[in-house]
Structure 1
Amino acid sequence: MADTTIKVDPAVRDRLMELAKERGVTMRDLVAELAGATPTKEELRKRYEETRAYVEEHFLGGPYTEEDERAGERLWADIEAGRVGEIQ
């Protein structure tokens, strides 16, 4: 595999080195891990479409609507605010 050089500020380099050290990997492996774990816009779009299709098939039994989205956003806001009790 051919190597290449990526130019970054010294502070970024130092942070990458510290992160790699904490994980017990080389900086090369850390950068590869970060690149592999960060989805592209196309990958995010595809993931969204697959998730939507799964929810429609397994939970809704039909199309995912704007009302479903609003209800989900309200539920998430309630959870974050501590307004939802234990899920049974």
Structure 2
Amino acid sequence: MTVTLVRPEKVYHRYTVYMADTTIKVDPAVRDRLQELARDRGLSMRDLLTELAGATPTKEELAARYAETKAYVEEHFLGRPYTEEDEKAGEELWAAVTSGRIGEVQ
């Protein structure tokens, strides 16, 4: 299926003064998937990609989030530094929760 966009020249010109267009080359299957996701959400593909980019944290943002969460847990729940043993116990608990064997973890 081919989709042809018709842009009124006057509107398009005013829009492009403020926005730069960039072409992203992806496999047709990826393009079709993005288009389907955009349609399901009632968005243009441009808006979908904007939403995805805004909602996806960088490595630095994830590291900052981890540090903030760790500090919060230490202050409000543990009252001591968060250790590797705490992390291992948390991972084991999460694995038990997701596998449905929550009663087996102590």
The verdict on a shared fold, with TM-score over 0.5 as the criterion, is yes
Alignment partner of 1:52 is 2:61 = no
User: 2:26 corresponds to which letter in structure 1?
Assistant: V
Gapped regions of structure 1 (runs ≥ 5): none
Deviation at 1:81, TM superposition (A): 2.8
Alignment partner of 1:15 is 2:33 = yes
Distance between the aligned counterparts of 2:34 and 2:51, measured in 1? 12
User: 2:54 corresponds to which letter in structure 1?
Assistant: G
Alignment partner, residue 82 of structure 1: 100
Distance between the aligned counterparts of 1:75 and 1:42, measured in 2? 26
Please, which of 85, 91, 106 is the counterpart of residue 67 of structure 1? 85
Structure 1 length as normaliser, TM-score?
0.88
User: 2:44 corresponds to which letter in structure 1?
Assistant: T
Q: Secondary structure at the match of 1:75?
A: helix
Superposed counterparts of 1:35-46, under 5 Å: 35-46=53-64
Name the CA shift for 1:75/1:19 in 2 (closer, same or farther; >3 Å). same
User: 2:33 corresponds to which letter in structure 1?
Assistant: R
Which is bigger in relative contact order (C-alpha 8 A, separation at least 6)? 1
User: 1:50 corresponds to which letter in structure 2?
Assistant: E
Gapped regions of structure 2 (runs ≥ 5): 1-18
Structure 2 length as normaliser, TM-score?
0.74
Distance between the aligned counterparts of 2:26 and 2:101, measured in 1? 44
User: 1:44 corresponds to which letter in structure 2?
Assistant: L
Percent identity between the two aligned chains:
78
Kindly report the root-mean-square deviation, in angstroms, between the aligned alpha carbons of the 2 structures. 1.2
For these two proteins, the number of residue pairs brought into alignment is 85
Distance between the aligned counterparts of 2:92 and 2:30, measured in 1? 38
